[in-house]
Amino acid sequence: MEVVTNESQASPLSPRGRTYRFLSSTKSASGINNAFNIFIVTLILLNIVAMVLESVQKVHDLVPRCFLWFEYFSVAVFSVEYGLRVWSCVEEPPYRRPLLGRLRFALTPLALVDLSAVLPFYLRFIHADLRVMRMFRMIRIMRVMRIAKLGRYSESLQMLVRVLRSRGEQLVGGVSILLILLVVAATLMYTAEKEAQPKTFTSIPAAMWWAAATLTTVGYGDMYPVTAVGKILGAITAMLGIGMFALPCAILGAGFMEELDRNKKPQTCPHCGKEL
């Protein structure tokens, strides 16, 4: 007797299911899906270009309404995309519950990035006093977060996120050591220079600016030691900074190499063992 499989009994996807599959797939063979992904990526890049050009007053004065209408169009597209993602996310098992599931999805990193891409636009329409409106105008710079939306469509950015997750503990350890070194260097330099330069090294927090500039080997020159002990400490701090900043680079480099090797590993058939 012929056994009917679950696949043959499965009903067609609902409009919400098709919307979720359409938005969540970035490597689909569907021509419409690929065209949509290309359209979103292009729109994100054009938004970054427009934001950069808009900051040039002469360029902005030439076509101010073009920038305005392009902003309206972009916000409309990104808002619809965000709304559809929140609406259709209940198709995924972790977000099955209609209200709590959508709220949980809205708090995921990628959903927050999508929200930050449109939120500054809507905040401008909130009636508030002058101080709050000034704050909202400052928040508009968050439009640059639209470039973070590329993470959905860029394999390179997704690889970076995977490397950061896999090497999170090592990176936290390296940054912790760097912060300890920053505090120690600032404390020692303040102790060595406070009498010779009381107006420059006024406190340990002030000396932290010198320590940060020295550890990063930038050396702005606005704060520098004049005593013999201070110069010796400065030289030691600069040399330690080179080694300490090389440590996170080595951790990330090893993580990228492991990720690349994992992606290059050939896939084999679990039954016959032949390479697919």
Q: Are residues 102 and 53 in the same domain?
A: yes
pLDDT band for position 190 (cuts 50, 70, 90)? very high
Instruction: Provide the domain count of the chain.
Output: 2
61 or 262, greater pLDDT: 61
User: Residue 172 is part of which domain span?
Assistant: 168-264
Q: Are residues 14 and 119 in the same domain?
A: yes
What secondary structure does DSSP assign to the chain, as a single string?
Answer: -PPPPHHHHPPPPPHHHHHHHHHH-SS-S-HHHHHHHHHHHHHHHHHHHHHHHHTSHHHHHHSHHHHHHHHHHHHHHHHHHHHHHHHHGGGSGGG-SHHHHHHHHHTSHHHHHHHHHHHHHHHTTS---HHHHHHHHHHGGGGGGGGGGGGGT-HHHHHHHHHHHHTHHHHHHHHHHHHHHHHHHHHHHHHHHTTT-TTTS-SHHHHHHHHHHHHTT---SSS---SHHHHHHHHHHHHHHHHHHHHHHHHHHHHHHHHHHHHHSPPB-TTT--B-
pTM over 0.85? The answer is no
* Cα 156–Cα 158–Cα 163 angle in degrees, nearest 5: 95
What CATH number did the domain enclosing 249 receive? Answer: 1.10.287.70
Q: What is the pLDDT of residues 97-110, one digit of tens each?
A: 888 888 998 898 88
Q: Which of 49-53, 192-196, 227-231, 265-269 has the lowest mean pLDDT?
A: 265-269
Which pLDDT does position 9 carry in this prediction? 39
pLDDT band for position 222 (cuts 50, 70, 90)? confident
Q: Are residues 18 and 140 in the same domain?
A: yes
Instruction: Indicate the residue among 95, 119, 153 that finishes a domain.
Output: 153
Which pLDDT does position 189 carry in this prediction? 93
Q: Are residues 185 and 125 in the same domain?
A: no
Mean pLDDT of the chain: 78
Q: Is the pLDDT of residue 61 over 80?
A: yes
135 or 84, greater pLDDT: 84
Q: Are residues 142 and 224 in the same domain?
A: no
Instruction: Indicate the residue among 97, 128, 153 that finishes a domain.
Output: 153
Residue 159 in any domain: the answer is no
Tokens of 207: 């000396």
Cα separation, 92 vs 196, in Å, equals 65
Residue 225 in any domain: the answer is yes
257 or 134, greater pLDDT: 257
Q: Are residues 25 and 143 in the same domain?
A: yes
Class of residue 194 by CB neighbours under 10 A (exposed 0-12, middle 13-18, buried 19+): middle
Stretch 127-136: mean pLDDT: 51
Instruction: Indicate the residue among 90, 125, 153 that finishes a domain.
Output: 153
Residue 116 in any domain: the answer is yes
Tokens of 108: 């995921």
